[in-house]
């Protein structure tokens, strides 16, 4: 696996696909710069070698060139983070861009305008990719968030750099972390899956069953299993048409020697609200009119026990409606258990949109081994798919 560390960028222009799809407030200020910070090590490696960096990214979902999605709004933030005054050009292909690239000196950084101002980007257009390819000598992909897309800048462009393409340090770390969990991981391996729906995680479950020893199923998706097993779940969230599938997953797990852990008790509420009345009940006996919104105390102890025995842990999805403080306890206790296991030497990987939000909200990001930056891309890797952005770099 070639990374920027395998190249010397002296006198070279690195064309780096980054993921600067950051949230902006109404005044177009960056409200969370995590993604920009995550790209810094790759950019610094290029500059420290004595090269220059041409950065390309998308931002939001513009329909054509919409000013509010201009990457111009993030120039100051990028400059502050990497400590170099970043230049900006208001397109990503064409003569003005080529000229700006030609004028770029070693040690300088140029940010191109939003790739998605051109519909050819998402269409994976070959001609557009050829034009983008004129903007650098070595192509670097450091955008994990879009690695599952076969877009012009994430995959198609790589054909123009048969010997001069590599992974950025962030993307390389993402791949290595997932390998650590799904490859030759230290046993026992435990996966914790939560969140609202079984349907969105079926392929993940089926793919990882061969690689894990324990599967903890929590949150909203557990009710489909509990109901399929004959439990009374009241008003709890449930995908009725997925009950057979839930039973089939339990059977497959048994055949493969994977121990499944479901919640045993639950914090039930009489309304989907932080001011609802609550009671702790047996998960198989939720009263009519009540819904399970968080893991109960016995469940938390049980899940923590399994995690404490684990040497490798993958966490995707909260075990309760953590956005409401009244139903956040299960997710916090789970995070604490994973943090403790990590402190004791386990490798822990957290990924997928909502678990990352939970990890940040409760301050666990420095207490787990790795927090993945790409929700959709990570899920597709867990599903066992080959991501176009990764395959494009690996292909000869
Ligand atoms: P997902 O996007 O499928 O990972 O689901 C994440 C969402 O699941 C979060 O917004 C949680 O609030 C929600 N969730 C977790 N547990 C429950 C539950 N018991 N009932 C309803 N929603 C839940």
Model confidence at 353: pLDDT above 70: no
- For residue range 298-343, list pLDDT tens digits in order: 999 999 999 999 999 999 999 999 999 999 999 999 999 999 999 9
Domains of the chain, residue spans: 4-167, 175-382
CATH architecture of 4-167: 3-Layer(aba) Sandwich (3.40)
Residues facing 190 on adjacent strands: 214, 313
What is the pLDDT averaged over residues 110-121?
Answer: 98
Q: Which atom of ligand 1 is nearest to the CA of 266?
A: 19
Task: Please tell me the distance between residue 167's alpha carbon and the centre of ligand 1 in angstroms.
Answer: 33
Q: Which atom of ligand 1 is nearest to the CA of 352?
A: 4
Residues facing 138 on adjacent strands: 14
Residues 6+ away with beta carbon under 8 Å from 342: 313, 348, 367, 368, 369
The confidence score (pLDDT) of residue 396 equals 77
What is the pLDDT averaged over residues 173-197?
Answer: 92
187 closest CA partner among 310, 316, 339: 310
Pairing state between β 291-295 and 265-269: antiparallel
Model confidence at 352: pLDDT above 90: no
DSSP 228-276: HTT-B-TT----GGGHHHHHHHHHHHHHTTPEEE--SEEEEESSSSTTS
Rounded Cα–Cα distance for residues 384 and 396 (Å):
21
What residues are labeled active site?
A: 35, 197, 353, 376
Fold: same for 4-167 and 175-382: yes
Tokens 């995707």: give the residue: 316
Rounded Cα–Cα distance for residues 126 and 158 (Å):
11
Q: Which atom of ligand 1 is nearest to the CA of 318?
A: 15
Task: Please tell me the distance between residue 312's alpha carbon and the centre of ligand 1 in angstroms.
Answer: 24
Rounded Cα–Cα distance for residues 54 and 32 (Å):
22
Residue 112's Cα: distance from chain center in Å? Answer: 24
The confidence score (pLDDT) of residue 375 equals 79
The confidence score (pLDDT) of residue 76 equals 98
Task: Please tell me the distance between residue 219's alpha carbon and the centre of ligand 1 in angstroms.
Answer: 6
What is the pLDDT averaged over residues 62-67?
Answer: 96
What is the CB < 6 Å shell around ligand 1?
A: 194-197, 200, 219-220, 237, 292-293, 317-318, 320-321, 323, 352, 354
* Topology (CATH) of 175-382: Rossmann fold (3.40.50)
Question: Is the distance from CB of 265 to CB of 281 less than 8 angstroms?
Answer: yes
Residue whose CA lies nearest to ligand 1 atom number 18: 220
């Amino acid at each position: 696996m070639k990374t920027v560390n395998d190249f010397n960028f002296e006198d070279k222009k690195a064309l780096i696909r980054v993921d600067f799809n950051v949230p902006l407030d109404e005044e177009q200020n960056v409200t969370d710069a995590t993604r920009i910070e995550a790209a810094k090590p790759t950019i610094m490696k290029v500059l420290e070698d004595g090269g220059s960096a041409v950065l390309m990214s998308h931002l939001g979902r513009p329909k054509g060139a919409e000013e509010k999605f201009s990457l111009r709004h993030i120039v100051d933030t990028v400059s502050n983070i990497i400590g170099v005054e970043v230049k900006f050009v208001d397109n990503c292909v064409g003569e003005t861009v080529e000229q700006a690239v030609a004028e770029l000196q070693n040690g300088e950084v140029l940010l191109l305008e939003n790739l998605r101002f051109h519909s050819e980007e998402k269409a994976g257009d070959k001609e557009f990719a050829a034009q983008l390819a004129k903007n650098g000598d070595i192509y670097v992909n450091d955008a994990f968030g879009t690695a599952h897309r076969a877009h012009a800048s994430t995959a198609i462009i790589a054909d123009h750099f048969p010997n001069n393409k590599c992974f950025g340090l962030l993307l390389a770390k993402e791949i290595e972390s997932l390998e650590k969990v799904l490859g030759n991981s230290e046993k026992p391996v435990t996966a914790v899956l939560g969140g609202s729906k079984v349907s969105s995680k079926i392929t993940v479950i089926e793919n990882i069953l061969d690689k894990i020893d324990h599967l903890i199923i929590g949150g909203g998706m557990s009710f489909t299993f509990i109901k399929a097993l004959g439990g009374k779940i009241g008003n709890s969230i449930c995908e009725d048409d997925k009950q057979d599938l839930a039973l089939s997953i339990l059977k497959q797990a048994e055949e493969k020697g994977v121990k499944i852990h479901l919640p045993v008790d639950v914090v039930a509420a009489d309304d989907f609200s932080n001011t609802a009345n609550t009671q702790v009940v047996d998960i198989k006996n939720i009263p009519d009119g009540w819904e399970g919104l968080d893991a109960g105390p016995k469940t938390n102890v049980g899940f923590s026990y399994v995690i404490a025995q684990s040497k490798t842990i993958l966490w995707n999805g909260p075990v309760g409606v953590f956005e409401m403080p009244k139903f956040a306890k299960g997710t916090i206790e789970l995070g604490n258990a994973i943090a403790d296991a990590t402190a004791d030497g386990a490798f822990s990987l957290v990924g997928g949109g909502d678990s990352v939000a939970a990890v940040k909200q409760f301050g666990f990001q420095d207490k787990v081994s790795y927090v993945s930056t790409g929700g959709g891309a990570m899920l597709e890797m867990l599903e066992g798919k080959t991501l176009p952005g990764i395959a494009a770099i690996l292909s000869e």
